[in-house]
Amino acid sequence: MEKFKTLKAVAASLPQVNIDTDMIIPARFLKTIKRTGLGKSLFYAMRFDEQGHERPDFVLNQDRYRGSKILITGANFGCGSSREHAPWSLADYGIRCIIGPSFADIFYNNTFKNGILCITLPQAEVDKLSAKAAAGNTAGGEFTVDLDAQTITAPDGAVTSFSLDGTRRNNLLKGLDDIGITLESAKDIVSFEDKQRRDQPWLA
């Protein structure tokens, strides 16, 4: 998993509340177990009309936000069914950080396992950042998210602090998913297996 330390990127504002996992990626696109190629289906019904043409009013279809890596959202983002394709599609599109007032629990946990940083802030702080993202033209419109310092620097230089539990922060900084966490204990695992084979050979 890619390490997350400092991210400098354009932020897109999507303040709608209760965006569920089916809105993030509709069920008809869940036929694959591959993590790649799902970005094109991200927010499909919101990005495209019935003929498959881009909706020009949707934020990620606008030129200045098309390459956004930071998404500023409304409350309860990621609610609904617990499909892991939702964070997969976000990651494949290029989203590395989501900022919002609240997230659905299962979605929140899945994002960190896929290298996406979710930052929870009070609604008033999210509104301020969302407005700055929507302005889109101050100093290029880029935000800087520093996971080590746990800060968000807006294009106008204003700094917002956030907090994240130590385990998730450590795993993102080191680029550790569940497999990576297990491999950190590889020597202990091998030692245990060797001892078990010596002491309990009948289990082999």
- Domain CATH code at residue 113: 3.20.19.10
Mean pLDDT of 186-199: 76
User: Residue 192: inside a domain, yes or no?
Assistant: no
User: Residue 191: inside a domain, yes or no?
Assistant: no
User: Residue 109: inside a domain, yes or no?
Assistant: yes
User: Residue 28: inside a domain, yes or no?
Assistant: yes
| Predicted TM-score (pTM) above 0.85 | yes
Name the domain count of the chain: 1
User: Residue 184: inside a domain, yes or no?
Assistant: no
User: Residue 111: inside a domain, yes or no?
Assistant: yes
Give the mean pLDDT of the chain.
91
pLDDT confidence of residue 139: 47
Closest CA to 42 of 15, 14, 17, 64: 14
Structure-token pair, residue 149: 């310092």
Element spanning 190, H or E = helix 186-199
Question: How does DSSP classify residue 48?
Answer: B
Cα–Cα distance, 83 to 151 (Å, whole number) = 30
pLDDT tens digits for range 114-149: 999 999 999 999 999 999 998 865 445 799 999 999
User: Residue 145: inside a domain, yes or no?
Assistant: yes
User: Residue 14: inside a domain, yes or no?
Assistant: yes
Supply the range of the domain harboring residue 131. Answer: 6-177
